[in-house]
């Protein structure tokens, strides 16, 4: 059998690049050839992987591309701070098509795996007679919820933001509030994201299937629902962070802002399951008022904590309550910038994870076997929260009910303190921890030889090996 060559195209965000690189590593460990098409700003993790001996290919495409109206210093999703920049960024992403096709012309791969935000790549794959696999970077659960919300608009059945509505047609009874739904779903508008979502739906018709960073045992009811009820072809091959390396202390993403030995020795000084790790991911931002409330809540909880605060807040520390760092010196560690999250979560001292419910972070919590305090902010994070708190039973909600892209606020200190206490020392904490540990074991088994994700990848490789491009007749 000839060696299959797979080209992967992530979009320009840390949370999208990290699992794509891990997927490339996974393909390579299973005997395939893999090349990533990346922009210069996102090439460092790939060159680092190459220098550590991984035979992954790298093809660079400039971003912003020539002719784009995007300022040259805007290279990543997390820099989109206003609607005008967002428009320009999305248009710049569309303009990558020609340079990507020139690379495909040169490489002639057997399959294209591309990010959800690059719908034009379905046409590119068709031009070269190869299958396109879409990567949405989230859970089956959130894909099923999104599908129902987009299709049936159940939020129209309620008149206020405080009235819950049922998401119909799902394996569990899931209710949401209008305020937890993306405005792109709610508004019948022609904004740039609405157009992009339409293009993504159109691209699906020309897409061979989907690769999902999940594992069957975590959400089997939703994997089955997605494939058999919604009728989409998909393979769950994760958790990718476990597939790509055996080192649980691996670094994912940027360089850490704290010396890892310093962080480890601090954790070593704490008893098992007594530290709360607090991190809101690489894109979400909190207002100064919210940071103050969070600090007060962590202090009031009486628990040990590690708190990661976004670097852009560092210049201005007005948010920090007077004397806060001094008062919590013995039980609180603040990291400003990027943290070695996988290492921290896998330390025996860590007993809970306060997370924004981005799917990468949620899976890191699952793989570490820690209960979660869910604090969703935007994107599909409110859906992932429901999976954790209501389906898996491995977490409690902090109570945020408002979808907002920037400067999130509205969660008071009492809610923070209460949720943190509940997950560490509350009446249900032991059962939550037992469930979380159970999913951790299942995750490990899924990626081992003979496990569900391992076998799914076998099936996918077999299908790709037998792939024959549809003729013009087939597509009409």
Residue 40's Cβ-count burial label (10 Å; 0-12, 13-18, 19+) is exposed
- Pick the closest to residue 269 from 309, 308, 304 (CA basis): 304
Phi, psi of 12 (to 5 degrees): -85, 70
Angle separating helix axes 83-94 and 192-204, nearest 10 degrees: 30
Helix 14-29 with 359-368: angle, nearest 10 deg:
60
Neighbour tally for 405: CB within 10 Å: 16
DSSP string, 112-177: EEEETT-TTHHHHHHHTT--EEEE--S-HHHHHHHHHHHHH-GGGG-SSTTS-EEETT-SS-EEE-
From the list 110, 115, 225, 356, the catalytic residue is: 115
Q: Which helix (H) or strand (E) covers residue 9, if one does?
A: strand 5-9
Pure H helices in 275-352: 288-301, 324-327, 341-345
Phi, psi angle pair for 410, to nearest 5°: 115, -5
Concerning whether 106 is annotated as a catalytic residue, the answer is: no
Contact between 78 and 17 under an 8 Å Cβ cutoff? The reply is no
Among 75, 82, 35, residue whose Cα is nearest residue 54: 35
Instruction: Please state, in angstroms and rounded to a whole number, the distance separating the CA atoms of residues 146 and 158.
Output: 18
CA pair distance 405, 184, nearest whole angstrom? 12
Say whether 261 is catalytic: no
- Residue 447 CA to residue 442 CA, distance in Å, equals 9
Angle at 231 between CA 154 and CA 198, to 5 degrees: 55
Question: DSSP state, 256?
Answer: P
Residues 6+ apart with CB under 8 A from 455: none
First vs last C-alpha separation in the chain? 31
Pick the catalytic residue from 16, 225, 347, 356.
16
Instruction: Compute φ and ψ for 38, nearest 5 degrees.
Output: -135, 165
Measured torsion, CA atoms of residues 148, 281, 391, 215, in degrees rounded to the nearest 10: 90
The residue among 95, 108, 134 whose CA lies nearest residue 10 is 134
Dihedral sign for Cα atoms in the order 454, 459, 465, 468: negative
Q: For the chain, state the CA radius of gyration.
A: 22
Residues with a known catalytic role: 16, 115
């Amino acid at each position: 059998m000839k060696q299959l060559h797979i080209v992967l195209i992530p979009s320009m965000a840390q949370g999208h690049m990290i699992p794509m690189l891990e997927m490339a590593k996974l393909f390579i460990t299973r005997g395939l050839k893999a090349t990533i098409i990346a922009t210069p700003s996102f090439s460092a993790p790939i060159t680092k992987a190459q220098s550590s001996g991984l035979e992954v290919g790298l093809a660079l495409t400039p971003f912003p591309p020539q002719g784009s109206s995007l300022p040259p210093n805007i290279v990543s999703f997390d820099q989109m701070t206003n609607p005008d920049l967002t428009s320009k960024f999305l248009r710049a992403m569309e303009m990558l098509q020609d340079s990507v096709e020139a690379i495909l012309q040169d490489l002639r791969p057997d399959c294209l795996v591309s990010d959800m935000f690059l719908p034009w790549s379905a046409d590119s794959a068709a031009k070269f007679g190869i299958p396109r696999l879409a990567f949405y970077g989230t859970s089956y659960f959130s894909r099923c919820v999104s599908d129902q919300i987009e299709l049936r608009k159940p939020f129209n059945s309620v008149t206020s933001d405080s009235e819950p509505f049922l998401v119909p047609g799902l394996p569990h009874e899931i209710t949401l509030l209008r305020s937890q739904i993306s405005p792109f779903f709610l508004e019948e508008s022609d904004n740039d994201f609405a157009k992009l979502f339409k293009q993504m739906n159109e691209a699906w018709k020309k897409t061979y299937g989907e690769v999902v960073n999940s594992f069957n045992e975590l959400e089997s009811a939703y994997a089955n629902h997605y494939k058999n009820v919604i009728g989409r072809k998909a393979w769950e091959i994760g958790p990718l962070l476990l597939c790509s390396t055996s080192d649980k202390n691996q670094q994912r993403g940027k360089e850490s802002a704290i010396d890892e030995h310093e962080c480890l020795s601090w954790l070593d000084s704490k008893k098992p399951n007594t530290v709360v790790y607090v991190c809101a991911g690489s894109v979400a931002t909190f207002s100064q008022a919210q940071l103050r409330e969070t600090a007060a809540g962590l202090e009031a909880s009486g628990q040990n904590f590690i708190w990661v605060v976004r670097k852009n807040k560092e210049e201005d520390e007005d948010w920090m309550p007077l004397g806060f760092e001094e008062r919590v010196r013995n039980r609180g560690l603040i990291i400003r910038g990027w943290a070695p999250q996988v290492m921290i979560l896998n330390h025996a001292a860590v007993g809970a994870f306060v997370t924004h419910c981005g799917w990468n972070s949620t899976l890191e919590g699952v793989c570490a076997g820690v209960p979660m305090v869910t604090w969703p902010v935007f994107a599909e994070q409110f859906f992932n929260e429901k999976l954790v708190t209501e389906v898996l039973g491995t977490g409690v909600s902090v109570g945020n009910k408002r979808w907002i892209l920037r400067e999130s606020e509205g969660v008071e200190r009492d809610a923070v303190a209460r949720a943190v206490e509940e997950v560490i020392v509350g009446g249900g904490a032991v059962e939550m921890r037992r469930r979380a540990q159970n999913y951790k074991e299942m995750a490990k088994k899924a990626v081992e030889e003979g496990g569900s994700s391992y076998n799914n990848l076998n099936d996918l490789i077999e299908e790709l090996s037998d792939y024959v491009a549809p003729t013009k007749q087939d597509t009409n």
